[in-house]
């Protein structure tokens, strides 16, 4: 009997290193030809499975797969924000049909909380319906909010180390700018991702672990108001003549963001303005003790795809946990997520790969530890620095270029021939 096939898919917002988990899975499967048949990539995550759009990755050479190491984001096979929810029975049935039609024996799902929840549901479905399928999750999220509060199921998610390195460098560079340009521009506001969970803005502390620079960090969890932010900034200007403000996109700006049109309707609410802009506008209504104005910037998706800043540690771990997922599938079967755990003995930073039950992961929550927020509420503690510092690695990643441009992997857009009727979205069926 020929080995059964594999589907791998990505889900949620991408990271700098997500393609390394994909690479690890592809390369590990290829190194076990008796255990795994063809490896298909779901085009745009689970949506590609539902639509039976399966990229035949055997059409892409080993050299091109190797280039996934330094190819950021999900241009390779795509990602989605589609979530398989309880009650969407027809979607689950469709997944089963597609897997059966293409003789899929293993399903790897690379993603964050929602994705691991989907992987868990698929694994349960397989078990309950007698489908001979092994579903294994692979962690991925820049937010680092996957896993448990005690960091025992998972120390950190691939993707976080690179966004942390991005902020360490970004803020360090911003400091050169702010220190040199403060007569005109004394306040620089930088908006960080991570709507509810503060691991990303917290990483700004890695730019200045010795706390020599005038940096203020506003996590969503700080519980501070826009007015308190303003007071803090003015105080920093009094002492240093300049200030760098790193603010979470989820920071609660209160009612200032709600702007009404001439009929009294809220026209551009907070959701239609960036937090950075609201903070800048507010600061510029205050009386500064120095000349000059506040200005702001929004790194946006750049923070999760700027490959030049990728942490080599993160790249390697994303690859390692991808490869490990294949081992988990081979040796332990259905219902696991591959994990990264930090060695708790020995000196220095070392990790090992392990596994956690998908059921446990899907029902876990991780917040930014309250004890890592400094008493000032505008900083994080040394315990956070100790945790996060090793994740950003040491040296720069080497990204191959051609004619001065990065050379990213090109996945051949060769699809498995379709065998089923076209997918009808669950919502369309519900209406019909």
- Interacting positions 98-137 with its own copies (CB under 8 A): none
Task: Say whether 195 counts as a known binding-site residue.
Answer: yes
Going by C-alpha positions, the residue among 320, 353, 322 that lies closest to residue 339 is 353
Across-strand partners of 72?
A: none
Residues between 32 and 91 with contacts to its own copies, criterion CB under 8 A: 44, 47, 71-82
Task: Say whether 231 counts as a known binding-site residue.
Answer: no
- Per CB under 8 A, which region of 117-125, 232-240, 401-409, 415-423 contacts its own copies? 401-409
Going by C-alpha positions, the residue among 59, 80, 69, 62 that lies closest to residue 22 is 69
Q: How many amino acids of this chain bind its own copies (CB under 8 A)?
A: 81
What is the sign of the dihedral through the CA atoms of 29, 35, 41 and 42?
negative
**Closest distance to its own copies from the beta carbon of 324 (Å):** 24
**Closest distance to its own copies from the beta carbon of 323 (Å):** 22
For position 140 contacting its own copies by CB under 8 A, the verdict is no
Closer of 57 and 74 to its own copies (Cβ)? 74
Residue recorded with tokens 């800048």: 280
Closer of 148 and 185 to its own copies (Cβ)? 185
Candidate residues 299, 327, 330, 333; the one interacting with its own copies per rule CB under 8 A: 299
What is the Rg, in whole angstroms, of the alpha carbon atoms belonging to the chain?
A: 23
Task: Say whether 141 counts as a known binding-site residue.
Answer: yes
| Structure-token pair, residue 259 | 């702007």
Report how far residue 49's alpha carbon sits from residue 273's, in angstroms, rounded to the nearest whole number: 35
Closer of 37 and 48 to its own copies (Cβ)? 48
**Closest distance to its own copies from the beta carbon of 31 (Å):** 26
| Structure-token pair, residue 161 | 């180390």
Closer of 363 and 401 to its own copies (Cβ)? 401
Closer of 223 and 254 to its own copies (Cβ)? 254
**Closest distance to its own copies from the beta carbon of 38 (Å):** 22
Report how far residue 28's alpha carbon sits from residue 326's, in angstroms, rounded to the nearest whole number: 6
Report how far residue 41's alpha carbon sits from residue 6's, in angstroms, rounded to the nearest whole number: 8
Task: Say whether 373 counts as a known binding-site residue.
Answer: no
The DSSP code for 52 is T
How many Cβ atoms from other residues are within 10 Å of residue 352's Cβ? 12
Q: With residue 106 as reference, give the H or E element that holds it.
A: strand 104-111
Q: Where are the alpha helices (DSSP H) in 4-132?
A: 18-30, 46-50, 62-66, 89-101, 113-129
Residue recorded with tokens 């950003």: 392
143 a catalytic residue: yes
Candidate residues 99, 160, 218, 408; the one interacting with its own copies per rule CB under 8 A: 408
- Per CB under 8 A, which region of 86-94, 164-172, 223-231, 361-369 contacts its own copies? 164-172
Residues between 317 and 336 with contacts to its own copies, criterion CB under 8 A: none
Task: Say whether 113 counts as a known binding-site residue.
Answer: yes
Which one from 114, 117, 143, 155 is the annotated catalytic residue? Answer: 143
The packing angle between helices 89-101 and 113-129, to 10°, is 70
Length of the chain: 432
Candidate residues 84, 95, 385, 392; the one interacting with its own copies per rule CB under 8 A: 392
Closer of 365 and 382 to its own copies (Cβ)? 382
Given a contact cutoff of 8 angstroms between Cβ atoms, the answer to whether 214 and 243 are in contact is yes
Candidate residues 227, 231, 238, 302; the one interacting with its own copies per rule CB under 8 A: 302
Q: How far is CA 215 from CA 73, 178, 229, 371, in A?
A: 29, 11, 12, 20
For position 210 contacting its own copies by CB under 8 A, the verdict is no
- For residues 229 to 268, the per-residue mask of contacts with its own copies, x marking binding by CB under 8 A and - elsewhere, is ------------------------------xxxxxx--xx
Report how far residue 119's alpha carbon sits from residue 134's, in angstroms, rounded to the nearest whole number: 10
- For residues 170 to 209, the per-residue mask of contacts with its own copies, x marking binding by CB under 8 A and - elsewhere, is x-xxxxxx-xxxxxxx--x-----------------xx--
| Structure-token pair, residue 404 | 């001065």
Q: Residues at the annotated binding site for substrate?
A: 141-143, 193-195, 249
Active site amino acids: 143
């Amino acid at each position: 009997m020929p080995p059964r096939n594999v589907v791998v898919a990505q889900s949620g917002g991408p990271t700098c290193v997500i393609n390394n988990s994909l690479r690890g899975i592809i390369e590990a499967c290829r190194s076990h030809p008796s255990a795994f048949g063809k490896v298909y990539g779901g085009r745009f995550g689970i949506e590609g499975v539902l639509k039976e759009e399966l990229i035949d990755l055997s059409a892409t050479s080993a050299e091109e797969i190797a280039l996934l190491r330094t190819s950021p984001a999900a241009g390779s096979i795509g990602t989605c924000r589609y979530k398989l929810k309880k009650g969407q029975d027809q979607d689950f049935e469709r997944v089963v049909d597609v897997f059966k039609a293409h003789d899929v024996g293993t399903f790897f799902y690379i993603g964050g909380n929602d994705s691991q929840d989907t992987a868990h549901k698929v694994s349960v479905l397989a078990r309950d319906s007698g489908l001979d399928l092994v579903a294994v999750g692979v962690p991925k999220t820049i937010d680092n909010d996957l896993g448990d509060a005690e960091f025992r199921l998972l120390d950190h998610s691939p993707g976080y180390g690179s966004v942390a390195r991005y902020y360490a460098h970004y803020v360090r560079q911003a400091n050169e700018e702010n220190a040199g340009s403060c007569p005109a521009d004394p306040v620089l506001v930088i908006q960080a991702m991570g709507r509810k969970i503060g691991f990303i803005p917290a990483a700004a502390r890695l730019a200045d672990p010795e706390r020599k620079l005038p940096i203020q960090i506003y996590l969503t969890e700080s519980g501070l108001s826009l007015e308190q932010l303003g007071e803090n900034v003015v105080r920093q200007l009094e002492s240093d003549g300049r200030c760098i403000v790193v603010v979470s996109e989820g920071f609660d700006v209160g009612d200032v963001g709600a702007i009404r049109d001439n009929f009294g309707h809220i026209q551009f609410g907070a959701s239609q303005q960036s937090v950075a802009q609201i903070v800048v506008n507010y600061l510029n209504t205050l009386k500064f003790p120095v000349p000059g104005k506040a200005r702001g910037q929004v790194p946006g998706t750049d923070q999760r795809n700027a490959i030049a800043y990728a942490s080599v540690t993160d790249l390697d771990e994303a690859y390692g946990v991808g490869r490990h997922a294949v081992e988990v599938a081979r040796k332990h079967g259905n219902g696991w997520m591959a994990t990264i755990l930090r060695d708790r003995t020995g000196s220095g930073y070392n990790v090992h790969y392990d596994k956690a039950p998908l059921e446990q992961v899907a029902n876990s929550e991780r917040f930014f530890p309250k004890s890592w927020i400094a008493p000032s509420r505008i900083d994080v503690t040394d315990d956070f620095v100790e945790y996060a510092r090793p994740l950003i690695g040491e040296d720069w990643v080497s990204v191959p270029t051609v004619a001065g441009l990065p050379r990213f992997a090109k996945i051949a857009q060769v699809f498995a021939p379709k065998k089923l009727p076209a997918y009808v979205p669950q919502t369309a069926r519900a209406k019909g």
